[in-house]
Each structure stands twice: as C-alpha cells, then as structure tokens.
Structure 1
C-alpha cells in the first residue's frame, strides 16, 4: 500500500505540474506526449481532466499522503478504529471507480492515453487491493460473521490476488484490443 501510494503521489505531482503548464498554454508540448495514442496533452486539455473544476491530479496530492500515513502507521503496529479503516476503504473505492471512469473516458471518448494517468490507475488499483485485503484480515469491513469467514478464506486462499491479476490482465487486453500496438 505504501509503495503504490508513493508511486501515485509522484504521478499526481507530475500531472499537477503538467496541468498548470496546460492551463498557461493549451498547446504545450509535454514530455509524456509520446505519440498519437500516448498523449498527455490531448487528455489533459479535456473537460474530463478537470471534473470538479480543478485538475483531477490535485485529488492525488491530497489523498495519497493520507494513505501513506495509514500504511506507515500500520507498519509500526498502530491499529486505527474499525470505522476509520472502513471509511478509508469506502473512500478509496470511490477513488478506484473514478480512476476507471477516467480510463474509460480516455480510451473510448478522448481516444488517447496518458502514461501518468495509467500509472495512477494502476497504483490506485494496487492500493485499493492491499487496503481491502488488510481490512478483510483485520475484520474492519462490518461483514456478517459468515461473509467475514468467506472473505478471509478468499484472501488467505490467494483468490483475491488471482482476481486482481485477472482484472489487470483484462484491462490490458481491452486497451490492446482498442489501440492495438499503436500504444508502443
């Protein structure tokens, strides 16, 4: 969780700087604008890049330090209240949904991908996955006793990880199907 929160924070910082560059000059040539498909500037100048009236990347600058704090505190055996961890998981679920909505918009509406945005989506997926696994194992999700038992078995049996790998493989497959090898 800590590693991918750091990766997402770095990507959010770069995206924030690029958003400021694009605000000053919408025709700016960004380093991550590699070709017609991998084009940060094309993605960054759309309304989807500023859904809440400010660059979406600013959300990562706010949320990832919170996740990093939770991760570091957990590494030194701090246990947050159950309600807090449940709320963190729900908030991060909303972040994952938003990240994949943006990926859909980028792929199927805008027609270009931003490498830094892809990094945030991937990192968000791993942070959410690790946070959810942790919360299942720590019984923080307010599941019924039978659902909790099944969830713990699902995690401990490795099925959660298999589903995560399958999900990421599906996402990659869809992107390659959509763009072919133009991505490279």
Structure 2
C-alpha cells in the first residue's frame, strides 16, 4: 500500500489558495504601482503613507525592499499566481504528483521565511509598518500553514504516522494558529514601536 494516503479533493484548501492568492496578488500589484509612482516622482507621497510609523515609502525605497536587485513586489506579482492556479486546478478536478506538491511546498517555505525576515526588518530595522506589506504577511502565514499540514497529513512529505495524524488534527486549528502568529507580530511591533502610543 502506498504511503501517500488517498484523499478526496481538498476543496477547502483549493478555495483558500484562490482567495489568498488573489489578495496577495492585489497587495503586490498595489505596492508595484506605488513603487512606479515614486520612481516617476521621487517627491511624491504614496497613498499608503499615513504617518512616519505606518507607510510604504520607507520600505519600498530601502535596500530591504529590493533584496534581489528589483522591487520585492515583483516577486509577489509572479509568486501569487501559483496558489491561484493550483487552487483553480484542484477545483477543476486536477490531481498533482508528489514532486509537484513538494516543489509547491518549497516555494511557500521560501515565501514564509522571506516574510518572517521582512517582518523583522520592518519592525526592528526600518521602524515602519507598510500597510500592503502587512496584507501580504496576513495571507502568506496561513497559506504556508495549510499547505505544509496538507503535505504532511497526506504523506506527500514523508513523516511518521503520528505526525500525519497530528497534521490532520492541526488543519482545523489553522485559523487559531494564524491569529496567534499575528498576535506575536503585533506584540513585537508594540514593544519595539509603541504603536498604541503613536496612535493615542
């Protein structure tokens, strides 16, 4: 018997991938437009610049905003297409091989690690919170969780039976895991940047 469990089509996962991909793509598109606007007029004020604490410009114009030699939002414009396509394909009845899911998981792991690094840079180095960046954080974190748990629970990523069962159980707790993750980021931001003090 194959170690990979035969499961029905993961409809909920597919719907989430489409929704998260669309939200993430829109955030990346909005940031890209802001970056182009700033390139055309360096003295312009981005529409997402609300205060010295909550703004996009500082992030977009920093070296952290172009880690690979081009604006980070371009990664989002291309990368967020993948979850949308995968989700729509699953809804259409497609079934993907193990190698595909492992590559997809690898891509999401890169995105998750990159987002965690960007969160740290934003809070502890730049001292700003970029609204569209935060939208990207909000969808990247649970997307990584659900895909990781999916490949574990189905045996696509080799793991002991106990780990697969645990992943299956945790799948129902992804919303709570996401909220806890957001809370940790919020606490770090509050401790480092005193957001409440700045607002009130």
- Structure 2 length as normaliser, TM-score? 0.83
Q: How does 1:13-162 map to 2 (within 5 A)?
A: 13-155=29-171, 158-162=172-176
Once the two structures are superposed, residues 101-137 of structure 1 have per-residue CA deviations (whole angstroms, 9 ceiling, x without a partner) of 1111111111111100111111111221222233234
Cα distance in structure 2, aligned partners of 1:137 and 1:150: 8
Partner in structure 1 of residue 177 of structure 2: 163
Instruction: Write the deviation string for residues 122-180 of structure 1: whole angstroms up to 9, x where unpaired.
Output: 1111221222233234332222344323332443xx44543333222111222222222
Structure 1 regions of 5+ residues with no counterpart?
none
TM-score, length basis structure 1: 0.89
> CA, structure 1 residues 87+3, in 2 after alignment: closer, same or farther (shift >3 Å)?
same
80-89 or 129-138, larger mean C-alpha shift: 129-138
**Counterpart-to-counterpart distance in 1, 2:177 and 2:139:** 16
* Separation in structure 2 between the aligned mates of residue 114 and residue 154 of structure 1, nearest angstrom: 30
The 8 Å contact of residues 21 and 28 in structure 1, kept in 2 or not, is answered as yes
Deviation per residue, 1:56-100 (Å, 9 max, x gap): 000011111111000111123311111111110111111111112
Larger-gyration structure (1/2): 2
Report the Cα distance in structure 1 between the residues aligned to 2:174 and 2:137, rounded to whole angstroms. 18
Question: Structure 1 residues 154, 118: closer, same or farther in 2, change over 3 A?
Answer: closer
In structure 1, how many angstroms separate the alpha carbons of the residues matched to 2:142 and 2:158?
22
Show structure 1 runs of 4+ deviating over 4 A: none
CA RMSD of aligned residues (A): 1.9
Aligned residues: 182
